Amino acid sequence: MGFASPFSPLVFVDWVNLMAEITTLAPLPTRKATARKTLLGQVPLDSPFYAFHPVTRLILFIFLGVIPLFIFIPEINFLLLLVNLALLRWGKVDLRRLRIYMPIIFTVAIFMFTVVILAPGKDPSYTPLKVLGITIYYQPFFFTFASYWRLIAMLFGTILYFSTNHERDMLVGLRTLRMPFVVSYVISLSIRAAGMFMEDFRIIREAEQARGLDTKAMRFSDQAKLYVMYLVPLFSIALRRADEISNALFARGYTLTGRVGTGGKRSDYIRSRYVMRNRDWVAITILIAIFAAVAIAQTVFGVFAIGHSPLNIYLRTILNIPN
C-alpha cells in the first residue's frame, strides 16, 4: 500500500476540510479582569473609589495628607487614622497588606521617643517625671506624642491614595487641575519610578531566595551589608530605565511645553476618558470647605492647638503640671 503524495488532490482536500473545522471551533474563553493594579497592590474593579473622578481622589489625598499639619490634638489625628482605615475597608483594599508597614510605624516611634528622652532640651519650664527609673520631661514628651500621631495620620492618608490609584490616575488628576505639562509628567514619572524600584527590589530578593539565600539566618550586620549591596543593581536598573523612558518620550514627540513639533497643542486623550459628575463636585466642595475651615480655625484662633487636647488637660490635672 503506497502513501499519497503531499501534493495530491486528496491530501489538499483533507487539509482544507481540517482548516475549516479548526476555524469553526468555538473561541477559547477569555478571563475577565476582576482587579485593577495600583501603586501598592491591587484593588477590585468594583471598588467604590472608581465611581469618582481621579481629580476627586487626588483632592481627597491632599486633604487627608495635609490637614494633620493644622491639627496638634492627638485625639483628632487618631480619629483621622480610623477614618483612613475605614476608607481602606470601604474601598475593598486588603487590610492584611498593612502589616508590611508595621516595621516603619514602630521604627519611627522608637526613633522619635528615644530622641526626646535622650535630648529633651534645656527649657527650665519643663516638668521632670520619673518613669521606670528614667527621667522624662512632660512637655517635650507629649509634644512628640502628638507629632507622632500627626505623622501616622499623614502616612495612612498616603497609603490610602497609593493603594487605590495608579500613576495614570494621578496624571489625569494633575492635568485636570491645569498643572503645567512638565510638572505633571515629572511627578507621574517619579511615582512610576518609585513603583518600579520596589518591584525590582522584590525581584532581586526573590532571585536570591531561589538561589538558597536565607536572610533570616543572617546576623543583623550581614543583613545591613546585604541591603547596601542591593543599591548597585537597583541604581543600574534605574539609570537604564531613565534612558529608556527618555528615548520613548522623544520617539513619541513629547516636549517640555507639551506641544507638538508644529507648535500646536497636543490633544489630551487620557482626560477625555473621564467625566466629572455631580457627586465629584459635591465631594470636592465638601473637602475644600472642611480644609479651609480647619486651616482658618487653627491659624487664626488656635482651635486645634496642643493645649486644647483633652488627654493633655487630663494628664496635667492628675500630675499637677501648670499650663
Which cell numbers in the block locate residue 212? 538558597
CA distances 285 to 171, 282, 289, Å, are: 21, 5, 6
Q: Evaluate if residue 145 carries a pLDDT over 50.
A: yes
* Per-residue pLDDT, 303: 95
Q: How far apart are CA 223 and CA 156, in angstroms?
A: 28
pLDDT digits (tens, 9 = 90+) for 102-114: 888 998 999 999 9
Q: Evaluate if residue 313 carries a pLDDT over 90.
A: yes
* Per-residue pLDDT, 24: 52
DSSP secondary structure string for all residues of 127-149: -EEEETTEEEEHHHHHHHHHHHH
Do the beta carbons of residue 235 and residue 13 sit within 8 Å? no
Q: Which letter, b or e, does each residue of 137-172 get, where b requires 16 or more Cβ atoms within 10 Å of its Cβ?
A: bbbbbbbbbbbbbbbbbbbbbebbbbbbbbbebbbb
- Is 55 exposed, middle or buried (CB count within 10 Å of its CB: 0-12, 13-18, 19+)? buried
Please tell me the least confidently modeled range out of 11-15, 86-90, 117-121, 201-205: 11-15
Q: Evaluate if residue 231 carries a pLDDT over 50.
A: yes
Q: Which element (helix H / strand E) includes 38?
A: strand 35-38
Q: Evaluate if residue 257 carries a pLDDT over 80.
A: no
pLDDT digits (tens, 9 = 90+) for 173-191: 888 888 887 787 778 777 7
Please tell me the least confidently modeled range out of 78-82, 108-112, 232-236: 232-236
* Per-residue pLDDT, 262: 62
Which cell numbers in the block locate residue 114? 528615644
* Per-residue pLDDT, 309: 95
Q: Three-state DSSP class for 259? A: strand
Q: Evaluate if residue 1 carries a pLDDT over 60.
A: no
Q: How confident is the model at residue 30 (pLDDT cuts 50, 70, 90)?
A: low
| For the ranges 30-34, 253-257, 319-323, the one whose mean pLDDT is highest | 319-323
Q: Three-state DSSP class for 77? A: helix
Task: Report domain extents, the chain.
Answer: 32-165+277-323, 178-274
CA distances 254 to 80, 229, 266, Å, are: 41, 36, 9
pLDDT digits (tens, 9 = 90+) for 183-212: 877 787 777 777 677 777 778 878 877 887
Q: Evaluate if residue 69 carries a pLDDT over 80.
A: yes
Do the beta carbons of residue 164 and residue 57 sit within 8 Å? yes
Say if pTM beats, i.e. exceeds, 0.85: no
Q: In the 8-state DSSP scheme, what is residue 307?
A: G
First to last CA, the chain: 111
Q: Evaluate if residue 3 carries a pLDDT over 50.
A: no
Mean pLDDT confidence for 259-264: 62
Return phi, psi of residue 44, to 5°.
-55, 150
* Per-residue pLDDT, 274: 87
Mean pLDDT confidence for 4-31: 52
Calculate ∠ Cα 34-35-40, nearest 5°: 170
Q: Three-state DSSP class for 278? A: helix
Which cell numbers in the block locate residue 126? 519643663
